[in-house]
Structure 1
């Protein structure tokens, strides 16, 4: 007698059962092992594991399966972001108290930056984006500093098409390359109304001698006369965050970022070795 389809677990639950089979010391399993630990039918397990292999969440070698690099990558980045936010938050609060402006923490995700945290006084002003929000990298201070110190891996995002957000947005690739060269020379980046016409920002990279892991920025409404004055304070903030994460021994330098491997798996392994969380 067949099971009532309405009582069958959802697809996502089935996939989770399969992935949970690899917990603890069970790092490598056969199809039969996964069937036993998941409680699912062999047909279901075989079909879903083929799909999980296809998206990189599992890897197959002969008759054995293990967690895939893509799944490990997602877990590593989640750990990275949580630790990064914890380390940055006290210094961001201090920077907000020092400047009176909104302070943001961004990471690069493809051609965009994602806001992980922001500190400010909503009674004074509210930025036009929220935590978890995405903005184009090419026209934000944080995005430009992450592209400038991103190594070879960000080149496709530099060379791609760039839409205009305001009349000040840099859209030409050659102009953006010139801007990023200036960012590397100065160690900071500016957004003078390039993403939002009434918002200006200055950002500094969170990095040692290599590529940037994140960026911290200060934003203010309209006017950019004091952005240069704010730049040293933002840079000092990133230095303190870096020291709290890795110790003062790895100082922040102004040399260009080291190349990032083009291959995703090697990039992840290099990043894990670099961050000492692998």
Structure 2
């Protein structure tokens, strides 16, 4: 007579733990280092979880900043790397500091350095002398990315699907001028791309304040943004815009020398001239909207 014994649990059933925490841990453990870049299929293979399960959990991890998603696939996000990657931010601030001060000397406006953290920007530095008190921002402070020139400048370099994941259900109103529709935001980001990365905002985040920003780009996307802020009635955004672009580009070159193109002569620190751009250059970069706010 055949004796029936309890059969061992099939190995396959142990590959899909019932606990969500266990599944998330398996997925995060699939990334074997800070520099790991994995496709969805690679994460599923390493974690030994069903592809559909991995995709669903990765979407949640991306929204919570545990994982980042770009065209190459997935990598560990700021939370997984330790509350924002302080060492990387220190390097960024060190590279940006002299250019931020020079930008303030050239324009007399308030200069910000910020990074994208989910659907918000976080201010890493602020330079403005006595003018700084007129702008209600602070180092460590946050604002919705879609309501700021700096945030929109960084969002413009992300894939549209990534923008949807980050901002899709968080387009809160900050002022009467804040963009609150996802379709309108995508139109604005497309205009920013057509202006080669220049982003403008007028009283979208703070009443009485106008701003122009440009992203600091790395090898895999935006790593920060530089912006200039001033009184909405008098700020010469169109004239100072090229200086913002130059500063963002120089910071990117310092952080990523491999991306450096032939360098242009550095402008001396002096007040902004009456007209920084030629009419032809301004028309080309600003999409033909000369003489008015963007």
Normalised by the length of structure 2, the TM-score is: 0.59
The one-character-per-residue Cα deviations of 1:210-242 (angstroms, maximum 9, x if unpaired) are: 521110000002226611111100000111112
Deviations 1:139-190 (A, max 9, x none): 1001111111123433213422412211111111111110010011111101
Q: Which moves more between the two structures, 218-227 or 128-137?
A: 218-227
Is residue 228 of structure 1 aligned with residue 244 of structure 2? no
2:127 maps to 119
Deviation at 1:127, TM superposition (A): 1.8
CA shift, 1:56, in A, is 5.2
Partner of 1:148: 156
- Matches of 2:246 and 2:186, distance apart in 1: 26
8 Å CA contact 1:104–1:117 kept in 2: the answer is yes
How many residues are matched?
200
Residues 244 and 157 (structure 1 numbering): CA distance in 2 closer, same or farther, change over 3 Å?
A: same
Report the counterpart of residue 274 of structure 2 in structure 1.
none
* Residue 177 (1) aligns with residue 186 (2): yes
Residue 85 of structure 1 pairs with residue 93 of structure 2: yes
More helix by share: 1
Runs ≥4 in structure 1, deviation > 3 angstroms? 52-61, 66-72, 123-126, 248-252
Question: In angstroms, what is the RMSD of aligned CA positions?
Answer: 3.3
Look up the match of 1:166: 175
CA contact (8 A) 2:147 2:178 kept: yes
* Structure 1 residues 124 and 225: alpha-carbon distance in aligned structure 2, compared to 1, 3 A threshold: closer
- TM-score, length-scaled by structure 1: 0.63
Question: Are the counterparts in 1 of residues 210 and 235 from structure 2 also a CA contact under 8 Å?
Answer: no
Aligned to 2:217: 207
C-alpha contact 2:110 2:132 (8 A) present in aligned 1: no
* Structure 2 gap ranges (5+): 1-20, 35-65, 67-75, 263-294
Q: Following the alignment from structure 1 to structure 2, what is the Cα–Cα distance between the partners of residues 225 and 101?
A: 8
Instruction: State the shift of 1:112 in Å.
Output: 0.4
Tell me the distance in 2 between the aligned counterparts of 1:245 and 1:163. Answer: 33
